[in-house]
Amino acid sequence: MQQPFLPFALPDIGEDEIAEVVDTLRSGWVTTGPKAKRFEGDFSAFLGDPSLHSLAVNSATAGLHLTLEALGIGPGDEVITTTHTFTATAEVVRYLGADVVLVDIDPHTLCIDIDAVEAAISPRTRAVIPVHFGGLAADMTRLLALAQRHGLKVVEDAAHALPTTCGGELIGTLGSDAAVFSFYANKTITTGEGGMVVTRSEALAQRMKTMRLHGMSRDAFDRFTSKVPSWYYEIVAPGFKYNLTDIAAAIGIHQLKRAHAFQQRRAAVAAWYGQALAGLPLLLPPQPPWGEVHSWHLYVVRLGDAAPIARDAFIEKLFAAGIGCSVHYIPLHLQPYWRERYALSAAQFPHSQRAFERCVSLPIYPRMTQQDVQRVAAAARAALPL
Ligand SMILES: *Cc1c(COP(=O)(O)O)cnc(C)c1O
């Protein structure tokens, strides 16, 4: 008998999240308000530094856009990022009329190659956006030093990196200009849609708070609770509509409490995969350096040279066995918009290109059991007859 479909990703929403949403709905305050504020405070506390500014936004894409806007990125500027990412990382640069300079990845970690970043720096370069691919930290020690030498801003696309460490410190606390987390449905914690920008800069935080809500000089919560007349506000810029609702924040408050437990479960799934897939012609994902936390947002295997079938056929076979897989990523240099805008070719990004042609993301999430992992491994084994 066919087993039920094992999805590629599945959120783990508990009764506490549901009760908090119901409480929000009954409270009469459904948009940005006390729960969004609480979620922000909890987030800074989670990162272990209540002096950090955490700003809840309605997506990581919005958060990346807000950050670059607050940094003053605009026409004539260049921002360097990795080709091996989701388009959101790069599109925000184009929102502001600046140019994207894509670079290749480290073939081991699939994170941005710091040497390639260095080689891509021009007099127009203003910022670098590293991605902590799959939840393994990019080489932030080298990148931050390089950025400092060249006077560049660093904005971390931390969509995969909750919780992830680099040098024993949680991503979000490393001293970049900002780190931006995603709470999209398939991320390590979810609010359905949502994100969080974290920065140490008071000035950046102030600008982002204003731009997050229409360029109003005070946000809706202050507007309706402070002593100043509730109807009064000032528009100081043509801002955006990027605030997170209290309904979403209600989910996030409880997801965040479970983030460490989720990570432990994901790490267990990764360890089970490591055992179950041993001996197959697959390159397994790199382990984090000793003592570091990998969020294990993704579990990306690469078909080895000895694999008897191609990547697409492998995914088809797993799908036929009732298992969902994905590909991270179709690199930006292969996407029509980016390829044509910057006249890119695969030869410029050999490591990303090779990884793309061979990579498969296997299901990984807290609700997976060891039996689920064994089922995936058995299907992989059957797809790879030696
Ligand atoms: C999911 C994701 C984003 C976008 O996050 P949203 O919250 O959906 O806007 C950006 N970058 C990377 C690497 C992602 O995986």
- Give the domain range for residue 289: 259-383
Alpha-carbon distances, residue 322 vs 3, 7, 17, 281, 360 (angstroms): 7, 8, 29, 22, 15
Residue 298 near residue 361 (C-beta atoms within 8 A): yes
**Ligand 1 site, residue 262, Cβ cutoff 6 A:** no
- Is 5 inside a domain boundary? no
List, for residues 178-190, the tens digit of each pLDDT value: 999 999 999 999 9
Phi, then psi, of 212 in degrees rounded to 5: -65, -30
In this structure, the strands spanning 53-57 and 195-199 are: antiparallel
Q: Are 59 and 182 in contact (CB under 8 A)?
A: yes
CA of 88 to the centre of ligand 1 (A): 6
Assess if residue 1 is contained within a domain: no
The phi and psi torsions of 121 (rounded to 5 degrees) equal: -70, 130
Cα separation, 137 vs 153, in Å, equals 18
* Residue 271 covered by a domain: yes
Q: Ligand 1 pocket, 244 CB below 6 A?
A: no
Residue 303 domain-assigned (yes or no): yes
Residue 210 lies in a domain: yes
Token pair of 356, please?
């793309």
Report which ligand 1 atom has the smallest distance to the Cα of 133: 13
Phi-psi region of 75 (alpha: psi -120 to 50; beta: other; left: phi over 0): beta
Amino acid at 113: D
- Please identify which of the residues 187, 209, 227, 257 carries the catalytic annotation: 187
Tokens read off for 34: 């006390």
Number of domains in the chain: 2
Residues 280, 226 share a domain: no
Domain boundary among 257, 279, 297: 257
Kindly state if the Cβ of 60 falls inside 6 Å of ligand 1.
yes
Domain at 113, CATH number = 3.40.640.10
Q: Are 163 and 293 in contact (CB under 8 A)?
A: yes
Indicate whether 296 and 248 sit together in one domain. Answer: no
Let me know whether 278 and 185 are in one domain: no
Residue 157 CB less than 6 A away from ligand 1:
yes
What integer pLDDT is reported at residue 222 of this predicted model? 61
Q: Are residues 209 and 305 in the same domain?
A: no
Answer with the one of 257, 279, 313 that is the final residue of a domain: 257
Low-confidence ranges of the chain (pLDDT < 50): none
Q: Is 321 a domain residue?
A: yes
Same domain, 187 and 271: no
Determine what percent of the chain falls in helix, strand and coil, rounding each to the nearest 5: 40, 15, 40
340 CA distance to ligand 1 middle (Å): 23
288 HSE (CA, 13 A, CB side): 26
- Ligand 1 centroid–CA 86 distance in Å is 7
Is residue 3 in a domain?
Answer: no
Question: Among this protein's residues, is 187 annotated catalytic?
Answer: yes
**88: Cβ below 6 Å to ligand 1?**
yes
Atom of ligand 1 nearest to the CA of 193: 7
* Positive or negative: CA dihedral 288, 292, 296, 297: negative
Confidence at residue 127, expressed as pLDDT on a 0 to 100 scale: 99
284 belongs to a structural domain: yes
246/264 same-domain check: no
113 shares its domain with 248: yes
Using CA positions, which residue lies closest to atom 14 of ligand 1? 159
Give yes or no: residues 303 and 248 share one domain.
Answer: no
What DSSP state is assigned to residue 383? H
Residues 316 and 326 in one domain: yes
- Tell me, in angstroms, the distance from the centre of ligand 1 to residue 108's CA: 22
Please tell me the predicted confidence (pLDDT) of residue 219: 53
300 shares its domain with 206: no
Same domain for 264 and 253? Answer: no
Indicate whether 321 and 246 sit together in one domain: no
131 in contact with ligand 1, CB cutoff 6 A:
yes
- Domain end (from 257, 283, 300): 257
Provide DSSP, 186-237. TSSS--BS-EEEEES-HHHHHHHHHHHBTTBSS-HHHHHHSSS-TT---B-S
Mutating to test ligand 1, I would choose from 84, 87, 157 the residue with most ligand atoms within 8 A of its C-beta, which is 157
Give distance in angstroms: CA of 224 to centre of ligand 1.
31
